[in-house]
Chains A and B, each alone.
Chain A
């Protein structure tokens, strides 16, 4: 099972990303996924977490992920070195930041700049899905784009899929 923890602030779309990832993965035959937010008061700007679990058999454990294969941060003000404790062995952190982080477990990307360019808004949730597609081998960029197209009106999905592809190319390069 591949387990993902999403970190964001209320309004940044962490749970939407968790759900899109589960949907994208489930396009494959024999693929099962769960996606859910940390249940609690939903307030704009407050730290929230969301979770995606991906497997080739039904997922029975509905508890929050404690150790992740990927821990994804939409907002670098939520990131501390303690985040490494949340990783399985060989796990990776995907971090939206302009800072340099010297750790073999951390992949950084300046998602804010990509968001600025393609969306005109500082919303990076779908962009981090592109980063995950590039980093993980968990899900293809095509499936991510298909999930986005299915769940957003075309005006938004066109911008978002362009941003996803740009992020994918940037991390692959």
Chain B
């Protein structure tokens, strides 16, 4: 292992190089550009033996990755924001075809107003496309996810494309200390991609066909069970990963001081670091608070959320997302998990960080203080209530 000082984008690119993809097709877009540039440098200097295809659009980037995957190649692409939306037509296509492509998304706001900064509305708008969705907190986790993503996506029982999300700029462009594993370790963790779901002369198959109402329904059911199977395979990947690399991840969620917590804030992505520091500060003041970080949104961690908050007095969600006319989508999903588990405690939703707006330590403390008052409802941080029109 080598300690390096890398940005989130660079760390992810190092992780992808270790995973030995055979085809990389991508179109650059801020703040994803550096991961694509870095990978093209790796291909150029011979340290990564892959076909690097600089396509003319994001729609083509994912189409190309599907073509590569359909002949049994390990394929990678990356995008962000408008680019993700432009390839949106291809997202359910890749999932329905059960092509285990890995894509990095640099989370960025969507236009209008035009904005290049980070929020999670781009990826969250695509939750129903059939892709696994993971959210990294820091550059180390980003690199590790790059490796784990192929293991999970390509597992026979899953066979589902994987979107690894990194918060634009605050994670993609921030430099931090990262352990870069050796290629030998990476090879031990991740064997070459093998699949029967491919086009070959030896075993000709018809892929990407149409299916009428009856069989289509079964395909969709199988797609759903495939992504649910990832719950088990994520754990399997993480324990193998821990054996080889010595870093243990915690599955779909990560609890921090939740065991005896009365008030729990649920969030995702890079803001979790600041929430964790705030939890420590408030704990020192005698407040029983905790953090539950969602590492995956698909498959959704229903059981894990219910188990973590069962003894809490109230929960809040902090998310960089809003489903206009409703509420934050993470909040909707969390409430569904609580309801299904029969947990009836006040819950509230805090929308923040849209268009890259900073979320401060003081604002997080304020959320915890409102949690203690068992407030409910939807709030835009710094603006206020988001439940009635004005």
Interface on A for B, CB 8 Å cutoff?
A: 19, 22-23, 26, 31-37, 39, 58-64
Contact = CB atoms under 8 A, between A and B. Distances in A.
Contact of A33 (B117, B173, B176, B272): B176
A141 B277 CA distance: 31
Contact of A58 (B3, B138, B173, B271): B138
Interface class of chain B by DSSP = mixed
Contacts of B277: 60-61
Given A34-B175, A64-B358, A26 B5 contact: yes
A61 B358 contact: no
Contacts of A39: 117, 169-170, 173, 356
A36 B174 contact: yes
Given A26-B5, A26-B177, A35-B175, A63 B169 contact: no
Given A60-B277, A61-B273, A37 B177 contact: no
B177 A31 contact: yes
Nearest to B280: A60
B358 A26 contact: no
Interface in B87-116: none
A33 B274 CA distance: 15
A60 B175 contact: no
Given A61-B277, A62-B273, A64-B358, A36 B5 contact: no
A60 B276 contact: yes
A34 B358 contact: no
B175 A61 contact: no
B341 interface: no
Interface of B: 3, 5, 117, 138, 169-171, 173-177, 270-277, 356, 358-361
A58 B117 contact: no
Contact of B273 (A26, A60, A64): A60
A60 B272 CA distance: 7
Given A22-B5, A33-B177, A35-B175, A62 B360 contact: no
Given A32-B176, A33-B176, A23 B274 contact: no
Nearest to A36: B174
B38 to A, nearest CB: 15
A62 B170 contact: yes
Contact of A63 (B117, B173, B276, B360): B360
Contacts of A60: 272-277
Q: Which of A34, A61, A62 lies at the interface centre, i.e. has the most chain B CB atoms within 10 A of its CB?
A: A62
A35 B174 CA distance: 6
A97 to B, nearest CB: 28
Contacts of B271: 62
Contacts of B274: 60-63
25 contacts: A19-B175, A22-B5, A22-B175, A23-B175, A26-B177, A33-B175, A33-B176, A34-B174, A35-B5, A35-B175, A36-B170, A36-B173, A39-B117, A59-B176, A59-B273, A60-B274, A61-B274, A61-B277, A62-B170, A62-B174, A62-B273, A63-B359, A63-B360, A63-B361, A64-B358
A32 B273 CA distance: 13
A46 B175 CA distance: 23
Contact of A34 (B3, B176, B272, B359): B176
The 9 A-B residue pairs with the shortest CB-CB distance, nearest first, are: A60-B273, A23-B5, A36-B174, A35-B175, A60-B277, A26-B177, A39-B169, A62-B170, A61-B274
Contacts of A64: 358
A58 B358 CA distance: 20
Contact of A26 (B3, B270, B359): B3
A19 B356 contact: no
Given A32-B176, A33-B176, A39-B356, 10 more contacts: A23-B5, A33-B5, A33-B175, A36-B170, A36-B173, A39-B169, A39-B170, A62-B170, A62-B174, A62-B271
Contacts of B360: 63
Contacts of B359: 63
Contacts of A61: 273-274, 277, 361
Nearest to B31: A39
Q: Which of B5, B171, B173, B358 lies at the interface centre, i.e. has the most chain A CB atoms within 10 A of its CB?
A: B5
